[in-house]
Structure 1
Amino acid sequence: MAKPRPTGTQPPVLGLTEPGNLVDVDATGLRPSDEREGERYSDADLSDYDLSGVSFIQCAFDAVTLTSTRLRGARFVDSQLTASFAPTLSAGRTTWRDTLVQSPRWGSAELFDADLNAVHIRGGKIDYLNLRSSRLTNVLIEDTQLGELDLGGIRGDRVAIRNCRIGTLDLTGARSVNVDIRGSEFSTINGLEGLRGVTVDDYQLSLLAPVLAAYVGLVVE
């Protein structure tokens, strides 16, 4: 007998574990395209470092400064970043898997064309999170203050944005399945067509009603 198909919005599936048995390492030795595993970097200032193509596997970053650090094409796997700081974060085309980002303090975070799978962003403040054209699978963003969240052109499945305060939410061209924004606040939303496949709550729907009516050309008298 065939199993019944699940109904309703499917939540992210996360099985994150904290990296253990780590070796404390001096981050000054990091170079582009390095492959690093089982290391901890604490209170390191990596401003202006070129770490393009670096792979971090089962690594932990504690209170690390990433101002203008070039991380294009870098990989974070089974890792954890806690209280990282970056007025500008250059991380386009990065890969993030089974990774926790805890309490980030990021200004402009450029994560366009990235691949996020089983990623949890929790707490903190990000002025501009650019995930444009990224693939998001099993991603949870919660309790985070976001000045602007750019999800334009994403392909999202099992994505939840919970209890977040968002200034501008951009969904232009987004393709979504099981994307849930219930419980979050937003002031402005762009790209109404990208709401297809997104789950909202009753209160959010009431706020969206006027712009949705205008979008489809309804006349309300």
Structure 2
Amino acid sequence: MEIQELMERYQKGETNFEKVDLHGQILSNINLSRANLKESDLSGVEFINCSFVETNLKGSNVNNSILKGDLTGVNLIRATLLHSDLSQSNLTDASLRAANLTECNLSESKLVYALLHDSILKDANLSKAQMTNCLLSRANLSGANLQGANLQGCNLTNALLLNTNLEGANLSFAQLNSVNAVGINATHTNFSHANLSAGNFASAIFHSANLTDAMVTWVSLRSADFTKANFSGAKLSWSNFMRANLTHANLTDAQTNNTNFEDAILDGVILNTEQ
């Protein structure tokens, strides 16, 4: 279907366009808010300054597309958005459960309260994205770029974060329990008051990271780099810091009962801890 025909029908009050084929079409200032485009083909489209507020795109093919504008409350459950560009778009309250966003560009986008659980975000660009209170449990963020992103209060329980870039990100008050985050870059990252319990952060880089008052119990931190990291007031009980580098780390008032520091580098560390 040509987009002009669809828009004419939409403007006359029609909203059901399920399984419509719009692939490869280009249009600016398009408004399809609250329309039903379930399981449609939007691959290769270029919709700039669009309005898809509460639009149903469940199961749609949005691969290799440019979709920029107001997507508040959009339904992209189980949609595929491989290599697509949604940067600087508003996806507040969007539903993206089990969507495939591999290599998708979401930089500087707004994903506040978005539902991304069980989604695939491998190698996606989420730099400087606003993701406060976002649901990301069981999401695959391996290789993703979250540099400078705001994930305050996010739920990342059981997420996969292999070699993810979290440099300078804000994860304060976030839930990261049981994550697999081997090899992450968390330089200058804020984990204050976050819950990292039962996670695997082996070989991760936490240089100058803020972990004040964080819950870091039963965690694998083998060979991780915590140079100049701040653990003041953190709970580190039963965690494994074997061969970790804690040079000049601050453990003031940290709880370290049954914590394993075997072969760890503790040069210049502040260790007036609670037991």
- Identify whether the pair has TM-score above 0.5, normalized to the shorter chain: yes
Match of 1:116 in 2: 136
**CA–CA distance in 2 between the matches of 1:81 and 1:71?**
14
Q: Deviations over 1:103-154 (max 9, x none)?
A: 1123202111111221011224332232111222211111223322322101
Aligned residues: 197
Q: What is the DSSP-based 3-state SS (H/G/I as helix, E as strand, rest coil) of the residue aligned with 2:146?
A: strand
Further displaced range: 26-35 or 74-83 = 26-35
Q: Structure 2 residue aligned with 1:24, among 38, 41, 51?
A: 41
Q: Deviations over 1:30-74 (max 9, x none)?
A: 611122222111222223x11111121211002211221000111
Q: Structure 2 residue aligned with 1:175, among 179, 191, 195?
A: 195
Q: What is the DSSP-based 3-state SS (H/G/I as helix, E as strand, rest coil) of the residue aligned with 2:159?
A: strand
Q: What is the TM-score when the length of structure 1 is the normalising length?
A: 0.78
Q: What is the TM-score when the length of structure 2 is the normalising length?
A: 0.64
Deviation (angstroms), 1:159: 1.3
Select the structure that is richer in strand. 1
Q: Which amino acid aligns with 1:210?
A: H
Match of 1:8 in 2: none
**CA–CA distance in 2 between the matches of 1:100 and 1:173?**
27
Deviation (angstroms), 1:213: 4.2
Match of 2:111 in 1: 91
RMSD, aligned α-carbons: 2.4
Q: Deviations over 1:160-218 (max 9, x none)?
A: 21222232221111134322211212322113321532431145444236323456563
Q: Which amino acid aligns with 1:94?
A: A
Q: What is the DSSP-based 3-state SS (H/G/I as helix, E as strand, rest coil) of the residue aligned with 1:46?
A: strand
Q: Deviations over 1:83-116 (max 9, x none)?
A: 2124412111111121110211232021111112
Match of 2:245 in 1: 207
Select the structure that is richer in helix. 1
**CA–CA distance in 1 between the matches of 2:83 and 2:103?**
5
Match of 1:105 in 2: 125
Evaluate the alpha carbon distance shift between residue 69 and residue 104 of structure 1 in structure 2; reply closer, same or farther with a 3 A threshold.
same
Residue 129 (1) aligns with residue 149 (2): yes
Evaluate the alpha carbon distance shift between residue 124 and residue 59 of structure 1 in structure 2; reply closer, same or farther with a 3 A threshold.
same
Further displaced range: 185-194 or 61-70 = 185-194
- Structure 2 alignment gaps of length 5 or more: 1-38, 226-240, 255-269
Q: Structure 1 residue aligned with 2:57, among 36, 42, 47?
A: 36
Q: Which amino acid aligns with 2:130?
A: E
Q: What is the DSSP-based 3-state SS (H/G/I as helix, E as strand, rest coil) of the residue aligned with 2:245?
A: helix
Q: Which amino acid aligns with 1:102?
A: K
Q: Structure 2 residue aligned with 1:76, among 76, 87, 96?
A: 96
**CA–CA distance in 1 between the matches of 2:185 and 2:224?**
15
Q: What is the DSSP-based 3-state SS (H/G/I as helix, E as strand, rest coil) of the residue aligned with 2:96?
A: strand
Identity of aligned residues (%): 17
Q: Which has the higher contact order (CA 8 A, sep 6+)?
A: 1
Match of 1:17 in 2: none
Residue 64 (1) aligns with residue 64 (2): no
Match of 2:233 in 1: none
Is contact 1:27–1:41 with CA below 8 Å preserved after alignment? no
Is contact 1:91–1:109 with CA below 8 Å preserved after alignment? yes
- Structure 1 alignment gaps of length 5 or more: 1-21
**CA–CA distance in 2 between the matches of 1:207 and 1:195?**
19
Is contact 1:52–1:70 with CA below 8 Å preserved after alignment? yes
Q: Which amino acid aligns with 1:46?
A: L
